Structure 1
Amino acid sequence: MSDGPGGTADSGMGERLKRFQARYEPMFTRVLLLAIFVTGVTAQFVKPVGDALQDKTFLGGALLSLVGYVLYDTVKDLAASLRLPVRAQVGSPELGSFVSEAFRARDVEIRFLGYTGETLYNELYHRLEGLLEDPGPTRNVSVRVLIPDFGQPMIVPSRVGEDGVTPVDDPDYRKRLELKCREYDQMLSGIAERLTTGGRVIAECEYRLYPGIPRDKICIFNREQVLHGLYDVASRTVQRRSDPEYYDPKGYRTDLNVWSRQGGEDSKAVVSRWNKHLDDLWRLAARPYWRQRTAA
């Protein structure tokens, strides 16, 4: 995906053309059908007009155009009713179906902002690995993952204080999460390199860091669908019975609201805003230290 202004301008022009088509297509179709009807009837009964139009038989065509004119709205509404409804909310375990759908495209773009991205990682790993054997229609894959900067002190994740409420920063706990994300990044980028080397698919997968706590969970698929939910930042976990409690959001329990360009104007506006927001965050986000070493 290009970060330059060209992509934004192209998408803006595309949206304007879609709105223009949606606004004027019904009126244009009605006028065209009515014109065919009037011309056909006139040519049938007014001889000079019929002669000018090569003396064809127009009454049947005129009647058909009239039927089309009358039934146009009905057929249009029927086609709309047959479209699959866009789900309003899904659970995080359902991410797999969205990943599978995204990989049916020639150009695949997946964006994520959240905690460790473990749920998404598992789906992406198997999907990317499958491309090594059979890429299908996919030719380009871009995966960008934004995770918290676990190198900084945090209140979430953190250890629950002795009073049972106060969050206490725990560098060791943060380090374990950081190592997990590092492994995810290296595994996905490794498969991406193998795909690109094979020559059938060009793939890139990269992790970057944002400051702050993991509050929002956002997945964007091919710039067409946005899934957004809020982590339960007060969720607690215990590794072992003898260990302390930790504030540790559970991503797989997070419900996600679904926004799609196939929805109404409000839904399309939400998708556009989230696309821009994650594009901007990505440009501002820092590369993790393991990426900086690789670049050096």
Structure 2
Amino acid sequence: MGNGSGADEGGRKFQELKSALLAEITEGEFDEGTLLPPQRELAKKHGVSRDTVQRVLVVLADEGWIESRQGRGSVVLRTQTVRSSARGNTAARRVTLGPLIAAAFKASDVALDVFTLTSEVLYTHVRAQEELIRAGEISPATITIRMLVPSDDQPLPFPYALADRSDDRPQKHLRGIRKYHTDNLVRRLQELDRDIDGLSATVEIRRTPLVPYSKLYVFNGAEVVTGPYVPTERPITLDDGTSLDVVDVMGFDSTLTHCAKDDDPESQDSLIVSSWQRWFDSTWRLLAT
């Protein structure tokens, strides 16, 4: 989770920088144990202030991606990887989410079905594919994204403040993050649909009364990535800069698993993909609004 706020330097640029750094970390551009570039370099590269860089690094540290070490800078603690046995490899291997989404976007007709808590990771990767489309490097004919997220009026069991469960700031913080990323995902797809001749791009978001215990991605009806959200105690930084100790869930603490349909409709991977696709379609039609 990150900081959700307005469209100024403290909001929009904060979120764009966080998304950019998160994409670089999760895709392994910075290996575990390596240093991020100096703050001055990050500020110049991304066209933001040093203050924005510092605030983003604080949140990434809160989320467990990096650790700030006196005299050394920000050290990458982990990357987000996916355990996969698909793509003709009988031995389980590790990949990252970005290439799986990139492969899905190489199809003529792109279809992404997603069940998520905030859509932050999805926004980060779709934004990268948007840039490739605008550069003419990929050219899908249609993009259809369906996203299920929790209803805003549904209290979730997380996040909650350790000192006071009745404190509603963590829940408001979560809703702010979700609103920022879903609103901007819709905006980017609408602009892509408007700007690129021959492309039909749509995104529809529905609210569900379900509490996500796991994130789910279904790519083109043929591949699935899923992994549980893991409850943990950690600090979060609220929009006003206040640090608050909470119980929250973190997607990166889980091992994401990937499987893909093959030529045998009765194989384990084919059945798993079909089962999740059926779950998503039924939930979308019968439970979501």
Query: Once the two structures are superposed, what CA deviation does each residue of 1:56-108 show, in whole Å capped at 9, x if it has no partner?
Result: xxxxxxxxxxxxxxxxxxxxxxxxxxx731674757xx210111110110000
The answer to whether the 8 A contact 2:208-2:287 is kept is yes
- Seen in structure 2, the aligned counterparts of structure 1 residues 246 and 108 have a Cα distance that, compared at 3 Å, is same
Tell me by how many angstroms 1:286 deviates: 4.2
Question: Match of 1:282, SS?
Answer: helix
Tell me by how many angstroms 1:254 deviates: 2.5
More helix by share: 1
Structural mapping, 1:27-66, within 5 Å:
none
Tell me by how many angstroms 1:249 deviates: 1.2
Structural mapping, 1:98-177, within 5 Å:
98-134=100-136, 136-161=138-163, 168-177=165-174
The answer to whether the 8 A contact 1:229-1:255 is kept is yes
d(CA) in 2 for partners of 1:207, 1:244 = 30
Tell me by how many angstroms 1:260 deviates: 1.0
d(CA) in 2 for partners of 1:151, 1:243 = 25
Unaligned runs of 5+ in 1: 1-82, 163-167, 288-296
Structure-1-length-normalised TM-score: 0.60
Question: Match of 1:273, SS?
Answer: helix
d(CA) in 1 for partners of 2:91, 2:226 = 13
The answer to whether the 8 A contact 1:119-1:251 is kept is no
Q: Does 1:248 align with 2:252?
A: no
Letter in 2 for 1:180: I
Match of 2:175 among 171, 178, 186: 178
- Seen in structure 2, the aligned counterparts of structure 1 residues 114 and 129 have a Cα distance that, compared at 3 Å, is same
1:275 corresponding residue in structure 2: 277
d(CA) in 2 for partners of 1:286, 1:276 = 14
d(CA) in 1 for partners of 2:186, 2:254 = 26
- Seen in structure 2, the aligned counterparts of structure 1 residues 261 and 86 have a Cα distance that, compared at 3 Å, is farther
- Seen in structure 2, the aligned counterparts of structure 1 residues 218 and 103 have a Cα distance that, compared at 3 Å, is same
d(CA) in 2 for partners of 1:186, 1:244 = 26
1:84 corresponding residue in structure 2: 88
Letter in 2 for 1:259: C
Question: Match of 2:216, SS?
Answer: strand
The answer to whether the 8 A contact 1:115-1:251 is kept is no
d(CA) in 2 for partners of 1:213, 1:86 = 34
Letter in 1 for 2:187: G
1:16 corresponding residue in structure 2: none
Question: Match of 2:236, SS?
Answer: coil
Query: Once the two structures are superposed, what CA deviation does each residue of 1:132-166 show, in whole Å capped at 9, x if it has no partner?
Result: 3326341100112222224222212222256xxxx
2:232 corresponding residue in structure 1: 235
Tell me by how many angstroms 1:208 deviates: 2.1
The percentage of counterpart residues that share the same residue type is 24
2:186 corresponding residue in structure 1: 189
Letter in 1 for 2:180: E
1:4 corresponding residue in structure 2: none
Structure-2-length-normalised TM-score: 0.61
The answer to whether the 8 A contact 1:89-1:257 is kept is no
d(CA) in 1 for partners of 2:209, 2:146 = 16
Q: Does 1:221 align with 2:215?
A: no
The answer to whether the 8 A contact 1:90-1:258 is kept is no
Query: Once the two structures are superposed, what CA deviation does each residue of 1:35-67 show, in whole Å capped at 9, x if it has no partner?
Result: xxxxxxxxxxxxxxxxxxxxxxxxxxxxxxxxx
d(CA) in 2 for partners of 1:208, 1:267 = 27
Letter in 2 for 1:262: D
- Seen in structure 2, the aligned counterparts of structure 1 residues 200 and 254 have a Cα distance that, compared at 3 Å, is farther
d(CA) in 2 for partners of 1:170, 1:102 = 41
Aligned residues: 197
